[in-house]
A and B are shown apart, each in its own frame.
Chain A
Amino acid sequence: GENVEQHPSTLSVQEGDSAVIKCTYSDSASNYFPWYKQELGKRPQLIIDIRSNVGEKKDQRIAVTLNKTAKHFSLHITETQPEDSAVYFCAAREGGDYKLSFGAGTTVTVRA
């Protein structure tokens, strides 16, 4: 099955700086890569996703890049704000499968 590794486990950034979280996956057949954000005490919510036929996707201050050859994908948050403080999870889904395999999560803290 798919195995997703996520780094770093914790990340502290100054407000206004950028944050980058990296994930690697094991199965070259994986073709869907979502990112979820979980604020303290709340449910995980999708913030951005990317499919294997696309190399990069942006939505305002967040972007995701995918390198299929190296089997890794990254989340980039620019101009970080206090409301970006949360746990972020990456995930991967094998083509034709129903389920997502999640990374262990990254706790991001934005310092004012």
Chain B
Amino acid sequence: DVKVTQSSRYLVKRTGEKVFLECVQDMDHENMFWYRQDPGLGLRLIYFSYDVKMKEKGDIPEGYSVSREKKERFSLILESASTNQTSMYLCASSFPSGGAQETQYFGPGTRLLVL
């Protein structure tokens, strides 16, 4: 059974704080993704990684950075949190695209409130 876990379900931070969100998967997936989910906007891709130490910007990377030092772990970093980063953050992982098993599996999400 695929398991994708996220370090926190809920977080409350102050404006200007540095925030770390961590995602761990146990399926040996090459691809990992960070999305934010806002009502009426669907799932928007922030960053993704297709291998250790590899990263690519998604559609809304501004204000975020990522780190992937190990295959199973993908971290999202908010260098200086702002109120407009209040959102639900979802991590996902998958095997390489194009294969029969390219389904993305999602973590439970982290609801971040920036005050």
Q: CB within 8 Å of B: which residues of A?
A: 1, 6, 9, 32, 34, 42-46, 49, 89, 91, 93, 95-105
List residues of chain A with CB within 8 A of the CB of B35: 102
- CB pair B97 A34 closer than 8 Å: no
List residues of chain A with CB within 8 A of the CB of B103: 34, 46, 49
Within 8 A of A (CB), among B66-111: 90, 96-98, 102-104, 106-109
Interface centre among A44, A89, A98 (most CB of B within 10 A): A98
- Once A32-B102, A98-B48 are accepted as A-B contacts, the answer to whether A43 and B109 lie under 8 Å apart by CB is yes
- Once A46-B104, A104-B40 are accepted as A-B contacts, the answer to whether A99 and B58 lie under 8 Å apart by CB is yes
Q: CB within 8 Å of A: which residues of B?
A: 4, 31, 33, 35, 40-45, 48, 50, 56, 58-59, 90, 96-98, 102-104, 106-109
State the total of A-B contacts with C-beta under 8 angstroms: 55
Q: Of A45, A95, A99, A101, which contacts B33 at CB under 8 A? A: A99
Q: Of B40, B50, B59, B90, which contacts A44 at CB under 8 A? A: B90
| Shortest CB distance B48–A (Å) | 6
Interface centre among B50, B59, B96, B107 (most CB of A within 10 A): B59
Q: Of B42, B98, B107, B109, which contacts A104 at CB under 8 A? A: B42
List residues of chain B with CB within 8 A of the CB of A105: 40, 42
Q: Of A42, A49, A98, which contacts B31 at CB under 8 A? A: A98
List residues of chain A with CB within 8 A of the CB of B50: 98
13 extra A-B contacts, CB within 8 A, seeds A46-B104, A93-B97, A102-B35: A1-B59, A32-B97, A34-B103, A42-B108, A43-B108, A46-B103, A91-B43, A93-B102, A98-B50, A101-B59, A102-B44, A103-B42, A104-B41
List residues of chain A with CB within 8 A of the CB of B104: 34, 46, 100
Give CA–CA (A91, B94) in the complex, Å: 15
List residues of chain A with CB within 8 A of the CB of B58: 99
- Once A34-B103, A89-B42, A104-B40 are accepted as A-B contacts, the answer to whether A99 and B48 lie under 8 Å apart by CB is yes
